[in-house]
Amino acid sequence: MGEILRLKVVTPDGPILDEEAISVTACSEQLGEFCVLPEHRPILAALGAGRLLVKRSDGGSDDFVTDSGFLEGGPDHVNVLTQRCIRVSDIDISRVVEEIEEIEKELSELGEGDASWDDLNVNLKWARARQNAVDNS
């Protein structure tokens, strides 16, 4: 066992990350924010839309936002399977704000039983997670 984790992040579009890390902080649906360090006991968590902070051994960090998915980890690795993942620095906040307004408008015109209600709420969570990440960076 070592002091490094092998982090892999994969979306339906393919691999996003495959790098070494000294810690990985993610956002769970049930637990809220949590951190995985080397020598961590096995973990499996359902992820909600939120921040993924990767600390590197050189002292730097990478800040991402992930959509819903799963994190599986152990003493020497973390695997993240998520619908979407974006680096916080690549987020166009003005576009995200417009997206939130459009989704909220569509939701206000629908009823909960409408077929697109769930998809719109998923997209709204994703947009708000990106907005929060930019606001807190």
Q: What is the pLDDT of residue 136?
A: 87
Distance CA 117, CA 10 (A): 27
Residues 68 and 125 in one domain: no
Q: What is the pLDDT of residue 94?
A: 96
Residues 80 and 96 in one domain: no
Counting the structural domains of the chain, the total is 2
Domain range spanning residue 55? 5-87
Structure tokens at 131: 């907005």
Q: Which residues of 28-48 are buried (b: 16+ CB within 10 A; e: fewer)?
A: beeeeebebbbebeeeebebb
- Cβ contacts of 9 within 8 Å, gap of 6 or more: 15, 16, 17, 18, 52, 64, 66, 80, 82, 85
Q: What is the pLDDT of residue 115?
A: 82
* CATH code of the domain in which 68 resides: 2.60.15.10
Mean pLDDT, residues 101-121 taken together = 88
Mean pLDDT, the chain, rounded, equals 93
Residues 10 and 28 in one domain: yes
Residues 12 and 74 in one domain: yes
Q: What is the pLDDT of residue 16?
A: 95
